[in-house]
Amino acid sequence: MAKERSSYPIIISAAVFIILEIAAVAMLSRSSSLQDVWIKHSTRRVQAFLWGSSERIRDHFSLQKQNDRLAEENFLLRERLRRYEAAEGSLEELKDIPDDGFRYTPAKVVKMSRNSAHNYIILDKGSEDGISPMSGIISSTGIVGIVDAVDKHFSYGLTINNSNIGISARVKGSDVTGPLFWDGLTSKGSYLKDIALHNDVNPGDTIMTSGFSTIFPPDIPIGVAGEAKIINGSSKNVKVELFQDLSSLRYVTVVKNIRREEIEELEASENKEGHK
């Protein structure tokens, strides 16, 4: 009898163990099912995210191509309009409109600095596209900068927000001219310098390229005149707010003066004659 009584706890323990094992297996089975469902839902969410992302990326590049195509078309339309305006409203065929001596090449901005005193721009066109140093860079809004160096496929230029750049400018509707420099403070701030005191420049006057340099054609918009400040009692500087906002710039036009070398050779020859 003692042996039978001593075996009861063992039997009870074994029964409890078996019951717990069965419960554990049931819980594990149920847990696995829940895990399967969770994994399936998570996988579907990841797949949906990846598919959606790939579609957005595809749409982005498709939109980019459309933007590039529209930029090319806008460039061609601006070039045609410019030539019509150069002919002063003539309705002749484009081939009969006089050539202004400049060549215009559309380009895209690859990189641009904005936070230094010597800001630069890199374009996706180079010497193989007909780009050369000392070419102007403009947009449909205004002046952007000047090409400083080129290789086969890219151009490096200095933007108008660079303290080393000076542009020959003129007040629209007058003969008042002077060099225009960035103020070094804001992206759209500049000064038209060395204006004679007797010359009137009023706030709101439009400032344009003078055409006196070999880089830019005349009458390219630059900005709007603001207040004037007298310097040393002999001249005045006029504050100018630039039209061009470089922070949103993506497409530009490179302007090349095809007669620049001829003009510079003539100037050099005249300078030599003057020193004799």
Q: What is the pLDDT of residues 237-261, one digit of tens each?
A: 999 999 998 887 888 999 998 887 7
Burial of 216 (0-12, 13-18, 19+ CB in 10 A): buried
Count CB-CB contacts under 10 A for residue 176.
Answer: 21
> Contact, 249 vs 160, CB < 8 A?
no
Q: What pTM does this model have?
A: 0.66
- pLDDT tens digits, one per residue of 88-130: 554 455 454 455 688 889 999 999 998 888 999 999 999 999 9
Say yes or no to pLDDT of 153 above 90.
yes
- Kindly give, in sequence order, each residue whose CB lies less than 8 Å from that of residue 19, ignoring residues fewer than 6 positions away: none
Average pLDDT over the chain, rounded to whole?
77
Burial of 143 (0-12, 13-18, 19+ CB in 10 A): buried
> Contact, 255 vs 137, CB < 8 A?
yes
The residue that leads in pLDDT, 41 or 272, is 272
Encoded tokens for 170 = 């003129």
- Rounded to 5°, angle at Cα 108 from 105 and 110: 135
